[in-house]
Amino acid sequence: MTSAVRFKNVCRHFGAIRAVDGLNLEIAPGEFFALLGPSGSGKTTSLRLIAGFERPTAGHIEIFGERADAIPPYRRNVNTVFQDYALFPHLSVLENVAYGLKMKGVAKKQRLARAEELLELVQLPGYGDRSPAKLSGGQRQRVALARALVNEPKVLLLDEPLGALDLKLREQMQEELKSLQKRLAITFVFVTHDQGEALSMADRIAVFNEGKIMQVGTPEEIYRAPRSRFVADFVGSSNVLPPDLVERLTGTRAWASLRPEAVRLVSRGGHSATLVSSSFLGAQRRAVFDFDGFQITALLAADAKLPEPGKTARLAWGESDLHLMEDEPVDGPEGAA
């Protein structure tokens, strides 16, 4: 099947800065695909390359099988929802949404009717006459979404679109965005530095670091089987165990990740460890143990019977919960393509 978006050995260097450095990636039609990584890892530059606001310094991008270099940004069938929404303050909500159709030369009556439909889609019916300044952050976000969808793009690019919203609204918008994407069956490329957001929303995730992809996979693959220390650290607060300790535990010399929720308290057997501290999280309790000079964090039931700090407990985990990793980060599975 033709990919919706394909990066082939794409670089975008700014002088000595390698914002995007040898990217190989295929995003399937209809996928909700997240670009996840810390600030400065090249996510926005990757989106801008898809949109055509940046040009690769090496390699090329294909959009639905077509070389993108040949297509100017406005003809790419791609639209962007920006982090700061970038609504036109002097236009009404309805005019903002209809703007893309106006640029295409669609007659006024038709484009306003279509914009009205889009406002319904994003659950803002009847808001058309208002000024963007009169809306809340969440409402502006929805207007930006409606505006980006009005031209029926085949690929929608979203750059940290929920970053400015408070937690409750952000969670609500995550659900809404996801269900909207499934209904419209448009390819979404979603940039975020929030691992929880990527895990809960995306069909697949590419984890970025320093302009490179460290791993590509489904949320479960990325979470359960991180390939490198970087991914284990960045995605979820995993325990990353050093080769010395892992060799003693398993006989194999490698870095390993151990998810805090896989660590259990047992009354016999297991490994002896000293409780350092614990904190109540509501639904769970987080406990930090000293194990052979290494800190291990455990996520336990809220009513777990913990010893006093400084006293010994016994820890256990399943053999398969200790996930061995490669020492050095490597390219994603498409890296060889």
Name the site residues for ligand ADP (rule: CB under 6 A): 14, 17, 19, 37, 39-45
Select from Mg ion, ligand ADP, none the partner in contact with residue 37, using the beta carbon and a kind-dependent cut-off of 5 to 8 Å.
ligand ADP
Interface region with Mg ion, contact rule CB under 5 A, candidates 44-52, 113-121, 239-247, 267-275: 44-52
Minimum CB separation from ligand ADP for residue 184, in Å? 25
User: Which of the choices Mg ion, ligand ADP, none does residue 219 contact, using the CB cut-off of 5 to 8 A by kind?
Assistant: none
Q: How far is the CB of 20 from Mg ion (least distance, A)?
A: 12
CA distance 129 to 96: 10
Choice between 44 and 187, CB closer to ligand ADP: 44
The separation between the first and the last C-alpha atoms of the chain, rounded to the nearest angstrom, is 15
Nearer to ligand ADP, 19 or 258 (CB): 19
Choose between 47 and 315: whose C-beta lies nearer to ligand ADP. 47
In the complex with ligand ADP, which residue's Cβ is closer, 39 or 320?
Answer: 39
297 lies in the site for Mg ion, by CB under 5 A: no
Applying CB under 5 A, the span of 39-47, 71-79, 85-93, 321-329 interacting with Mg ion comes to: 39-47
In the complex with ligand ADP, which residue's Cβ is closer, 37 or 236?
37
- Answer yes or no whether residue 96 interacts with Mg ion by CB under 5 A: no
Which one of the spans 42-50, 58-66, 179-187, 233-241 is the region binding Mg ion (CB under 5 A)? 42-50
Residue 223 tokens read as: 């979470």
Nearest-CA neighbor of 230 among 143, 146, 327, 320? 327
**Cα 8 to Cα 144: distance, rounded to the nearest angstrom:** 30
Measured CA distances, 294 to 246, 270, 276, 297 (Å): 11, 16, 11, 10
Q: Name the token pair of 216.
A: 């590509």
Residue 17 partner contact from ligand ADP, Mg ion, none using kind-dependent CB cut-offs of 5 to 8 Å: ligand ADP
Shortest distance, position 24 Cβ to ligand ADP, whole Å: 17
Q: To the nearest 10°, the Cα dihedral for 324, 329, 334, 337?
A: -120
d(CA 98, CA 117): 10
Those residues with Cβ within 8 angstroms of residue 337's Cβ, 6 or more apart along the chain or in another chain: 8, 24, 26
Q: How far is the C-alpha of 315 from the C-alpha of 331, rounded, in Å?
A: 34
Distance of closest approach, residue 185 Cβ to ligand ADP, in angstroms: 27
122 within 8 A of 145, measured Cβ to Cβ: yes
Is the CB of 155 or the CB of 288 nearer to ligand ADP?
155
The answer to whether residue 44 forms part of the interface with Mg ion (CB under 5 A) is yes
40 binds, among ligand ADP, Mg ion, none (CB under 5 to 8 A by kind): ligand ADP
51 versus 322: smaller Cβ distance to ligand ADP: 51
Nearest to 234 by CA among 19, 48, 39: 39
Instruction: Name the residue nearer to ligand ADP (CB basis): 14 or 74.
Output: 14
From 37-45, 103-111, 128-136, 147-155, give the range in contact with Mg ion by CB under 5 A. Answer: 37-45
* Contact footprint for Mg ion (CB under 5 A): 44
